[in-house]
Amino acid sequence: TTAAALERFTINFTATNLPYNSDLQNPDSAKFSSTRRVMNTLLDRLLKKSSIGPDFLRCETTAFRYG
């Protein structure tokens, strides 16, 4: 048998209770790092419990924007 190919996909969403500030534009800032860590943890938990859970590997937050 052959291994299944990994497929990446993008999900965009709005967090209405996340106050935006300019530190979230800078991937090197402490605010960006801590917010990314929290978002990844929460999304990982949610997606692992969903129907894609058995195939889900991890979530990666790449950017925040004012929206």
Per-residue pLDDT tens digits of the chain, which is 67 residues long: 676 777 788 888 888 888 899 999 999 999 999 999 999 999 999 999 999 888 888 889 999 988 7
Strands (DSSP E) found in the chain: none
C-beta separation of 29 from 37 below 8 A = no
Distances in Å between the Cα of 56 and the Cα atoms of 11, 46, 47, 50, 66 are 14, 11, 7, 9, 28
Q: What is the pLDDT of residue 33?
A: 96
**How much is the pTM?**
0.78
Q: Which of 60, 50, 52 is nearest to 27 (CA)?
A: 60
Q: What is the pLDDT of residue 5?
A: 76
